[in-house]
């Protein structure tokens, strides 16, 4: 399974959409998981989202056995859940214990890895670029936090320091602040999938349509 995580506005959803369009019969894409709408606590929400991440790994392994020609990709994973809770704590919006509990749950669910059949790519961009790429959503109250510069700076700080919390080798970070980073990103995809793709230029378009 391929997982794309990282900064909002880095182009995760855009790239996955392009991959699915290029490989309609060979790739199943899981969209970004959404928290429950029942007003759950931060801890319950984290448990729900991390459980979803675990289910995606299990589904990918099942498909590898039953449909070996089908690839699986996921928009975000446990890294995004951790980054969000770290940023909440770093900006005083939640206790640091919420982040610690989420990290412990990642270990309990065996999300930390390593998983040889999992390729996790963490896409980076700076907070100002993240905001400018998503300017069309700036007035949507649902995304207010994602336009807070302090929150995004803390979110990026977590991603820059992933080896503090996660084993080196379980993820690859790539800076895609400008389009020069995209060929390197495509080269980081699993070779089996990459051989199925059309020429690179067909998948290196504008990432400005990325939301959050």
Task: Give the other-Cβ count within 10 Å of 173's Cβ.
Answer: 16
By residue count, the chain amounts to 212
Question: How far is it, in rounded angstroms, from Cα 150 to Cα 146?
Answer: 10
The conformation of residue 42, written as its DSSP 8-state character, comes to H
What's the whole-number mean pLDDT along residues 40-47? 86
Q: What is the mean pLDDT of residues 35-64?
A: 90
Average pLDDT value for residue range 63-88: 94
Which pLDDT belongs to residue 206? Answer: 47
CB distance 26 to 71 below 8 Å: yes
Residues 6+ apart with CB under 8 A from 86: 99, 154, 155, 157, 158
Q: Count Cβ neighbours within 10 Å for each residue of 136-162 and write b for 16 or more, e otherwise.
A: ebeeeeeeeebbbeebbbbbbebbeeb
Q: pLDDT digits over 180-207, tens only?
A: 656 666 666 666 655 555 554 445 444 4
Is residue 60 a contact partner of residue 72, using CB atoms and an 8 Å limit?
A: yes
Task: Output the six-digit token pair for 180.
Answer: 């020069």
Residue 29, strand partner residues: 73
Token pair of 175, please? 């800076």
Mean pLDDT over 160-172 rounds to 95
Query: What is the reported pLDDT for 184?
Result: 65
The answer to which of 9-18, 76-85, 144-153 has the lowest mean pLDDT is 9-18
Structure tokens at 109: 């669910």
Among the ranges given (53-57, 69-73, 84-88), the one the predictor scored with the smallest mean pLDDT? 69-73
Local structure of 73: helix, strand or coil = strand
Q: How high is the mean pLDDT of the chain?
A: 86
Least confident of 29-38, 139-148, 154-163, 176-185: 176-185
Q: What is the CA radius of gyration of the chain?
A: 17
Q: Domains (ranges, CATH) in the chain?
A: 2-196 (3.40.50.300)
Task: Strands of 76-178 (E only): list them.
Answer: 119-124, 172-175
């Amino acid at each position: 399974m391929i997982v794309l995580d990282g900064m909002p506005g880095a182009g995760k959803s855009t790239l996955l959409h392009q991959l699915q369009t290029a490989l309609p019969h060979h790739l199943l894409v899981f969209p970004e998981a959404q928290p429950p709408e029942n007003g759950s606590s931060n801890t319950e929400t984290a448990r729900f989202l991390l459980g979803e991440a675990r289910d995606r790994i299990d589904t990918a392994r099942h498909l590898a056995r039953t449909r070996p020609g089908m690839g699986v990709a996921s928009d975000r994973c446990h890294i995004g859940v951790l980054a969000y809770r770290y940023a909440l704590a770093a900006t005083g919006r939640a206790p640091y214990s919420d982040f610690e509990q989420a990290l412990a749950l990642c270990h309990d669910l065996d999300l930390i890895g390593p998983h040889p059949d999992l390729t996790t790519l963490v896409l980076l961009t700076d907070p100002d670029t993240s905001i400018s790429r998503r300017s069309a959503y700036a007035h949507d109250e649902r995304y207010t936090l994602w336009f807070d510069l302090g929150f995004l700076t803390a979110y990026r700080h977590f991603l820059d320091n992933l080896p503090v919390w996660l084993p080196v080798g379980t993820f690859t970070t790539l800076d895609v602040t400008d389009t020069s980073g995209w060929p390197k990103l495509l080269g980081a995809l699993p070779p089996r999938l990459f051989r199925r793709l059309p020429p690179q230029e067909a998948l290196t378009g504008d990432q400005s349509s990325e939301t959050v």
